[in-house]
Structure 1
Amino acid sequence: MRRPPRRPGVLLAVLGLGLALPLALTTPDPAQARTRTEAAPAPPTPRLTSSADALTLTVPPSGTAPGYTLRVTVDQLSLTTSRSGGTVLATADGNTGGALRFHAADAWQHATRVTDWAWKDGTLALTAATTLTGATVRARITPSADRYRLDWQVGGVTPERLGLAYDLDSAGHWYGHGEAQTPKGGPATDQPWPLDTGQVAHEAFGPASYYMIDPFWYTSSATGLRVDTGHVMNVAINQGEDGLGRFDVESADPYRATVFVESTPLEVYRDYVGIVGRPAKTDATYRQYAEPVWNSWAQFYTHVGQAGLLDYAQDLHDHGLTGHTLQLDDKWESNYGNLTFDPKAYPDPGAMSRRIHDLGFDFGLWVTLWINLDSDQYAYAADHGYLLADATDPGRPCRVTWWNGVAGIVDLADPDAAAWYKARLRALMTTYGIEGLKFDTRFFDERCAPRAGYAPTDYQRLGAELADEFDLQGVGIRVHWDATAHRAGFVTRQLDKGTGWNSLRASVTQNLAISTIGYPFVTTDMIGGSSAQPAPTKEVLIRWAQSASLMPLMYASTSPVSTIDVTTGRKVVYDEQTTALYRQAAARHARLAPYIWDQVQHTLKTGDPIMRPLFFDFPHDQQAYTITDEWMLGPAVLAAPQLTNAATRPVHLPPGTWYDVTRAQTLQGPRTIRSYATPLGVTPVFVDLGAKGSDKALKALR
């Protein structure tokens, strides 16, 4: 049914005329009707009702979907989603910048009154005036059982950006996003959880970012937002404490979004994973889940050489600090891009590799696709067209400044370039007995031009495909946004963290954020941090190890025996208790490995995260939605480690029967233990006795 365009006052008068009762407009699907059987009834059909001030879509419950209504106001375009009679998501109003907003004529504009609408074939089409003369917004809303699609664009002008704005409070608390840039130092030292309890100001939020991010957000009201774009976004959540969520895309292309409406946040997450895909396999082996990987970076930074690395490996071995791999990180190459050892620092890399293997470790190397201009290989790669082209001058290679100089980037979309790069990696590995690689830096940069026929998002896929050919040794890789990254089953490591308590706490909430945007095999940054700050204190290092022991994997670097303070160059020697408690944490993780491996297999079947917020398992426990320092490891283990320099901490237990591992007693939830004693050797952990896997968890933790 279609209404011809009218002046606003006439439109409202006609909508209101003779409508004492709502006008129900339904459009059955003919194809669905032809295949309908009594054994498999078709889902209920959405209905549209109109009134003088709004259009209302009603989607009845269907199967596990709870049903919802979407109210579209006519005088000032806004969208309000309700479930069971209560609002669960609402856009911003005209006084706070509008719902459907765009940047044009050097200012932000937004849609105002609805001037035309039509309901046909299950889609509501709208036309709206805007705050900019001559510009209109055209939108299409397509409802289904547990979500609706919102597609819209601007006509009459060419905007620089399109965006959606939401009233954060309408949906409760907000989660998702991934690693968040914040005014308080995020993501290195700050990761608000929920997001609305802090401030997120994340520009350059896009597929080429080094941050682990996806354009997906979900709420405590069990709604969710996915923006389907390959363009860079500017995301602001409660920026300046304005109470708004702004999700802007830097493009004039049509804005495409999906809004999920479910009964629980976990169901929203599952809906999202149903679109982007769940892991088809796990990139890490059982041993890589069970034992730490030791990486040289935080122990040495770039002040590393053959003698120091072997002393490090020997020291770990002699103190019973076992691990599956020892990785040599940055600053082993003669120059970035050469893929040859610096002969001054590494006089005999073959002998070094053999000694590392003799100590029981596999051997790994840090590598990058970025080839510095002063590398032996830069001219060769440039002459053969193996490097990404410059975005402003495609006739020359793109040059990007990074933390180690100025470089070109191998173009993985060029089959010859990719084959050349991979052949050099394999030759290096064969020569020196290297089992795996830590890929670092990004596979694309916005200063470069993608190869003809490719988009920036394709380089996430190409990077994932490249990495999937090599053993990543449990440190994983930082690829995101593309479905290939979701399905590859990589371990995801966080951005570098500081060495203080704030970074330890951020490592927990950040893992929850990454894990619940579809990357379930998470690890924190290196235990103790790795961001060129003073060496971690004894307490931070131990507490970080204890926390990581109750996560899917452990990623280690700073030795609990001794390390180098990069800020002073002095050796820091830890006491015997530090080594003993660190070793104890690693042993606990190893005992948990059979239980963790079961969770890995469950994730491969369902896509569900292994490390997750309490409210995924206990959605009706309202206190769980704001807890920042507890999590579930699978369905049976509740981790509540000490993340501050305090003698006690509160512990919240959701409904159920819980076994307190430390105190060897059974407790009934829900309850909050106000002051749980946490001397340095104590890591509070509880087992849900009614959950699947509880027997295996108890055996490991007792």
Structure 2
Amino acid sequence: MLFGFLQVFFIIPFCSNMCVHIYVYRFVFITIIRTGLQLVGVLGAGSIPSDLPPPEPCDQAGLCWSFGSMASLSLTPTLDGQCHFVEWKSQFDSLADCFDMGQSYWYGGGEVFDQSWPIDGDTALMGDGGRPDVPYVTGDFFHNDFAGVLEPYWINTDGFGFYALRENPLFVSWNSSGDHQLCLKSRYEFPYPRPSVGQELGLRYFVCSTSDVKSMHLLALSKGFWSKPRDTPDQRVFEHPIWSTWARYKTLVNQARVLSFAEQIRQYGFNDSQLEIDDRWESCYGEHQFDAEKFPDPAAMVNQLHSQGFRVTLWIHPFINAECASFSEASAHVVSDANGLPALTSWWQGNLAGYFDYTRPSSGDWWSARIFKLKTDFGFDGFKIDAGETNWLPSGFDFSTRLPTNATPNGYSTAYVRTMERFGGMTEVRTGWAAQDVPIFTRMLDKSTVWGKANGLATIIPTLFQFGIEGYPFVLPDMIGGNGYNTVLPERELFIRWMQANVFMPTMQFSYTPWDYDLEVVDMALKMTSLHYQYSGLILTLASQAMTNGYPINRPLWWIDPTDPVAQTIDSEYLLGDDVLVAPVLQTGAVTKDIYLPKGVWRDEADPSHPVYTGPMWLYSYSAPLDILPYFTRVSPLQ
């Protein structure tokens, strides 16, 4: 156990309310106690120089300490007594507050390659190494520790939680070197810009306590740690699948293939929300001009697709390659260095490129005008917009005249998403930082065409949960079957199980098609897309309710019974609202599944004539052959 030699100071047999016990030596040791549960931490761990004298109280209440003229630490209770605001002000090079993870389960944090639910599963995945001390910034987890969606927010099943202010130059470690600690750290190291000489280093966060994990999450919502959606995105995207050219055609897409793709979709009897033309349609990346050889008449193509009932969207990105003809003009609108000169970066389709600067309103307007011109010239209905994370920023980036130092670099991702909102409710992005109020779709980063936890099918539900509890309910799971970067076509079984797993999520997206396999798969897909449409009214209702309550559309099982220790660990089932439970098969070769039903009376919708089940209970070896998606509906409302 962390700080085991200190436990003698903190053993309290009972505390009727939330209590904070503090022991001050060279560091500040804190225990938050509620009804026999405790959260133990060391504030200033490894941060305080050894030659400083012990801290002295700086107020009568005993919740503020000064470390000479070098630092101060305060703990301020909120009016309701459920949280304390922890604030460091210092001249130190770094600050670190570390808390013992205890025996409870934890949720939250960032989108990662091997997403787990609860996130304690990271420990099992990574051995004793856990997750090392890394900057808490948006990125691409194929190159960085986190992907595009993250919030400085963690909660556990004992009802404790943390919310760190976004202004922190935050580094986070999780069970690093097997220490079983969650550490919040602050320091001005890349990618955080160094402030002016003499500016203090701070670390600011809330630590809160409630009765259970759901109550903790509802408390976070009531505190307004993030904003709720201002509206709901496009209705049709909730109802019918997106059809993307990407995984099926990759960069070999052209006008003839797009039109053939559309014909096939209609030939096999499928509906759509939109047909999306993905990479690579441009003559030069960032030029926003069609490659005339691949797309000889894009306006005629879009008109033909419209006549077939399709809406048409186009893949867009925030880069312009240096070899493009308009780079000279565009260079005034890309991220610049401290001298105001264009700073170049590299990305997956270019070694030298500018990254458009959406923190500068005039540049966002200039870029947006080019995108709107694609709508007016060719008739596109909307856009899939890629990237937007901080890892693509050039190393010499400088936002000092536009963003406060404490809003950099993640403020770039915020400005990016807010710029994309202007393209309407069909828009999808793949990053989010302080952008929960923007009513567009948030896409999971490219999934790999594999079954397991290596960014495969097994990570879809954990990622769905992570987006949801961090305030992004309008989730676009990635393409059914994954992106196929290491295969021509997903195996048949994987494609079917992936499709089934998506049915009760907010949206569905195909690129590999059911007819790439056989007519039996086509029939299954028609049934699954019809089932999704059947429940789209409920999905739309939940999406609308998210504007006022902030709840996820898809919820973990503990949402309806937060103290159920089994429900707290389930990562292969999910809820749609409170009354639909979905238990897709996620393992290769499996034709049965052990299904957990939490409290309530449940009807088996795959076999509705079967007597109802009363939870909590396990259904062991539930029969789920390849054409069966197990799902259940609650017979009576949640009490």
TM-score by length of 1: 0.79
Q: CA offsets, 1:127-158, max 9 Å, x none? A: 35xxxxx9965210011222110111334xx3
Paired letter, 1:481: W
Partner of 1:470 in structure 2?
423
The correspondence for 1:138, drawn from 72, 75, 94, is: 72
Paired letter, 1:559: T
Question: Displacement of 1:237 after TM fit?
Answer: 1.7
Paired letter, 2:511: S
Secondary structure of the residue aligned to 1:248 is strand
Bigger Rg, structure 1 or 2:
1
Secondary structure of the residue aligned to 2:422 is coil
The correspondence for 2:519, drawn from 576, 601, 605, is: 576
Partner of 2:528 in structure 1?
585
1:518 maps onto 2:471 in alignment: yes
Paired letter, 1:352: M
1:452 maps onto 2:401 in alignment: yes
Query: What is the rounded CA distance, in whole Å, between the counterparts of 2:485 and 2:535 in structure 1?
Result: 32
Query: What is the rounded CA distance, in whole Å, between the counterparts of 2:430 and 2:50 in structure 1?
Result: 36
Paired letter, 2:110: G
**Structure 2 vs 1, CA of residues 113 and 606 (structure 1 numbering), >3 Å: closer, same or farther?**
farther
Partner of 2:291 in structure 1?
342
Query: What is the rounded CA distance, in whole Å, between the counterparts of 2:157 and 2:50 in structure 1?
Result: 27
**Structure 2 vs 1, CA of residues 685 and 111 (structure 1 numbering), >3 Å: closer, same or farther?**
farther
Alignment of 1:175-574 (within 5 A): 175-180=107-112, 187=113, 190-199=114-123, 201=131, 203-206=134-137, 210-251=147-188, 253-273=201-221, 274-382=223-331, 385-390=332-337, 393-405=338-350, 406-442=352-388, 445=393, 447=395, 448-450=397-399, 452-455=401-404, 456=408, 457-471=410-424, 473=426, 476-482=428-434, 485-502=435-452, 503-530=456-483, 532-534=485-487, 535-562=489-516, 574=517
Question: Displacement of 1:236 after TM fit?
Answer: 2.3
Secondary structure of the residue aligned to 2:292 is coil
Paired letter, 1:247: L
Secondary structure of the residue aligned to 1:468 is helix
Question: Displacement of 1:53 after TM fit?
Answer: 5.7
Query: What is the rounded CA distance, in whole Å, between the counterparts of 1:462 and 1:350 in structure 2?
Result: 31
Query: What is the rounded CA distance, in whole Å, between the counterparts of 1:497 and 1:208 in structure 2?
Result: 15
Query: What is the rounded CA distance, in whole Å, between the counterparts of 1:487 and 1:224 in structure 2?
Result: 22
- Confirm or deny: 8 A CA contact 2:15 2:33 kept in the other structure: no
1:126 maps onto 2:76 in alignment: no
Query: What is the rounded CA distance, in whole Å, between the counterparts of 2:166 and 2:50 in structure 1?
Result: 20
Partner of 1:116 in structure 2?
56
Query: What is the rounded CA distance, in whole Å, between the counterparts of 1:651 and 1:244 in structure 2?
Result: 32
Partner of 2:585 in structure 1?
642
Q: CA offsets, 1:101-140, max 9 Å, x none? A: 3569xxxx799995322444x7710235xxxxx9965210
**Structure 2 vs 1, CA of residues 282 and 557 (structure 1 numbering), >3 Å: closer, same or farther?**
farther
Question: Displacement of 1:347 after TM fit?
Answer: 0.9
Paired letter, 1:268: M
Paired letter, 1:325: Q
Secondary structure of the residue aligned to 1:622 is coil
Q: Which runs of 5+ in 2 are unaligned?
A: 1-7, 124-129, 141-146, 189-199
Query: What is the rounded CA distance, in whole Å, between the counterparts of 1:265 and 1:443 in structure 2?
Result: 30
Paired letter, 2:446: D
Question: Displacement of 1:521 after TM fit?
Answer: 1.4
Query: What is the rounded CA distance, in whole Å, between the counterparts of 2:139 and 2:69 in structure 1?
Result: 31
Paired letter, 1:125: C
Q: Which runs of 5+ in 1 are unaligned?
A: 1-51, 61-66, 92-97, 129-133, 181-186, 563-573, 695-702
Question: Displacement of 1:518 after TM fit?
Answer: 1.2
Question: Displacement of 1:579 after TM fit?
Answer: 1.5
Secondary structure of the residue aligned to 2:290 is coil
- Confirm or deny: 8 A CA contact 1:545 1:586 kept in the other structure: no
Paired letter, 1:79: I
Query: What is the rounded CA distance, in whole Å, between the counterparts of 2:425 and 2:548 in structure 1?
Result: 22
Query: What is the rounded CA distance, in whole Å, between the counterparts of 1:357 and 1:59 in structure 2?
Result: 66
Q: CA offsets, 1:329-388, max 9 Å, x none? A: 111110011101001111111121122222221000011221110112211122xx2221
Count of aligned positions: 588
Secondary structure of the residue aligned to 1:401 is strand
Partner of 1:166 in structure 2?
99
Q: CA offsets, 1:55-84, max 9 Å, x none? A: 99x997xxxxxx401111223522111111
1:600 maps onto 2:554 in alignment: no
**Structure 2 vs 1, CA of residues 637 and 54 (structure 1 numbering), >3 Å: closer, same or farther?**
closer
Secondary structure of the residue aligned to 2:185 is strand
Query: What is the rounded CA distance, in whole Å, between the counterparts of 1:111 and 1:601 in structure 2?
Result: 57
C-alpha RMSD of the superposition = 2.6
**Which runs of at least 4 in structure 1 moved beyond 6 Å after TM superposition?**
109-113
Question: Displacement of 1:598 after TM fit?
Answer: 1.4
Greater displacement, 588-597 / 197-206: 197-206
**Structure 2 vs 1, CA of residues 286 and 577 (structure 1 numbering), >3 Å: closer, same or farther?**
same
- Confirm or deny: 8 A CA contact 2:185 2:203 kept in the other structure: no
TM-score by length of 2: 0.87
Question: Displacement of 1:260 after TM fit?
Answer: 1.7
Paired letter, 1:141: L
Partner of 2:602 in structure 1?
658
Q: CA offsets, 1:572-622, max 9 Å, x none? A: xx1211121122111110000111111112211100111111112211211
Partner of 1:9 in structure 2?
none
Question: Displacement of 1:690 after TM fit?
Answer: 2.1
- Confirm or deny: 8 A CA contact 1:208 1:460 kept in the other structure: no
**Structure 2 vs 1, CA of residues 553 and 671 (structure 1 numbering), >3 Å: closer, same or farther?**
same
Query: What is the rounded CA distance, in whole Å, between the counterparts of 2:484 and 2:204 in structure 1?
Result: 37
Secondary structure of the residue aligned to 2:595 is strand
Q: CA offsets, 1:251-276, max 9 Å, x none? A: 36210011121122222223323323
Q: CA offsets, 1:181-233, max 9 Å, x none? A: xxxxxx1xx21211112235263321577521111111111111111134553
- Confirm or deny: 8 A CA contact 1:283 1:489 kept in the other structure: yes
Secondary structure of the residue aligned to 1:301 is helix
**Structure 2 vs 1, CA of residues 582 and 54 (structure 1 numbering), >3 Å: closer, same or farther?**
closer
Paired letter, 1:675: S
Higher relative contact order structure (alpha carbons within 8 Å, sequence separation ≥ 6):
2
Partner of 2:618 in structure 1?
672
Query: What is the rounded CA distance, in whole Å, between the counterparts of 2:534 and 2:235 in structure 1?
Result: 12
- Confirm or deny: 8 A CA contact 2:389 2:413 kept in the other structure: yes
